[in-house]
Structure 1
């Protein structure tokens, strides 16, 4: 039986940065990623875990086609992608989108929400203006906002609402892969659960594949199918969520688990769903 082509695959990904030196030593090269291998199947979520400075966000930016790796090979749906030679065109951009950590900084404060959502269609497609508006309003509704929010500015929304807007913008081009870099870390715990609930529902509805960067193990345990643990640019452990959480093999993974307070995000989600159902029944 032929194995399905993964939505995204990395082979021996390396990233080096030039760091200014002193008057006597000159510039030097620092290796942020050292030979990272991974693959993510359609409809699955790979969580990338590690401490600050481990290289997880660097890898996320490479997967999202923002930065070019120094070495190695990146494939998107079987196609080799090398943005060192050629910048991604509209077709490739439509397949890969990114949601950033800070919902306050990732949206243009001078743009109305409707323009934020329509901008990817303006840049990458020839969709008519009326259809762009219809699709933007439909996506707003799909992420839990209302059509009247179309003409409001980002500062008029809460952090959780802004992250919903960022997710809606990322979905406007119907991507197959979303790269999510700490998408709930700036939100309150109850709002985190709501956004994670939304992401899970969207993944099922649109058959999305996620690369999910996080330092929060309770979030990872809730959303991931596969887990990759990175330390100092090296993938020290990879495996299914169940295997990694039940029996971590590497000392670094065990130290992460020991140092991280555990919050039951899944239980919070259940409480939110029950509260929502109770309110609906009372109407």
Structure 2
């Protein structure tokens, strides 16, 4: 019979009762906040790329941007853009708004103009939409037609896909003739050779429009003029007195199938 016995295990160390009840020390002073109670703002502007990605043909006569006087078309002395906070749960204080411009065309280099900041209340409250204005720079006045770009920036923006708006607009009145041709410079802004495709709309006016060439392949940074010809049929009657714009012709450019930009030609049927 084996009379040997295993050595007894040493007793486990135990913490004093007061120490075991003490909470674990925090490594920092930050307290996690559940996502359910974090609310972010959504400052926005009419965004042509978002419309394109949503399957809706965009217009480049931006409803949130004002750059020209009609009629005849001429730049206004005070450029304006309306920024809206779409969030009903959080205000958008110190929203940054950058504005820039380019020569009339698509994909052309942009030149900065100014940066402004605006405080936007929650959607549904007074102050949730604010119109900012800037004096017309001499270069834009001399250009007469141009692209105007608005970029909306907030560090906690819940939807960064509705922050880029532009207005690139020319126009004519049928009292000066029902057939007009516009020269539209188109540039490849990327670092590789790309194919750019142009389409005209909306559907009711598309048969009036010819774009030549409608497809072009350009090297990095290369630019080419495209001719956009519009022939308003004689059967289209003059618009009633007081009409500001009878129709818009929107020309959209895609690059490699992705959104690039566009221009709009506004028409007044006044004869």
Q: Is TM-score (shorter-chain normalized) higher than 0.5? A: no
Query: TM-score scaled to structure 1, two decimals?
Result: 0.26
Between Structure 1 and Structure 2, the one with more strand by share is 2
Higher relative contact order, chain-length normalized (CA < 8 Å, sep 6+): 1
Larger CA Rg, structure 1 vs 2: 2
- Compare the two structures and name the one with the higher helix fraction: 1
* TM-score for both structures, normalised by structure 2: 0.27
